[in-house]
Amino acid sequence: MLYTEYDSELAMQIKSQEEYEKGKAEGIAEGEAKGEAKGKAEGKAEFISQMLKNGFTAEKIISLFNLSKEETNLYFGDIQTV
């Protein structure tokens, strides 16, 4: 009887450790994806800023980057575009 109880507890501990490792890996992957997305957005914002400083119009930048309405508002505020 003791052997069976021990096996059962050991199996639960192993399963718990596996679930922990899986959750940890998923958390790391999610964090990396968020960090990558944030880095890309910051790079895009910096590039757009430099384009504006070099004479590109907001309309031209919107066209070149094919920006969505949400992105347009994010980078340029509430501007009226064609």
* Higher per-residue confidence, 71 vs 34: 34
Query: Considering its fold, how many domains does the chain have in total?
Result: 1
Q: Residue 23 falls within a domain, yes or no?
A: yes
pTM of the model: 0.61
82 assigned to some structural domain: no
Domain encompassing residue 15 = 2-76
pLDDT at position 80, please?
56
Instruction: Reply yes or no on whether the pLDDT at 31 is more than 50.
Output: yes
Give me the pLDDT at residue 12, please: 86
For residue 15, pLDDT over 90 is answered with no
In a domain, 81, yes or no: no
- One DSSP character per residue, 19-82 reads HHHHHHHHHHHHHHHHHHHHHHHHHHHHHHHHHHHTT--HHHHHHHHT--HHHHHHHH-S----
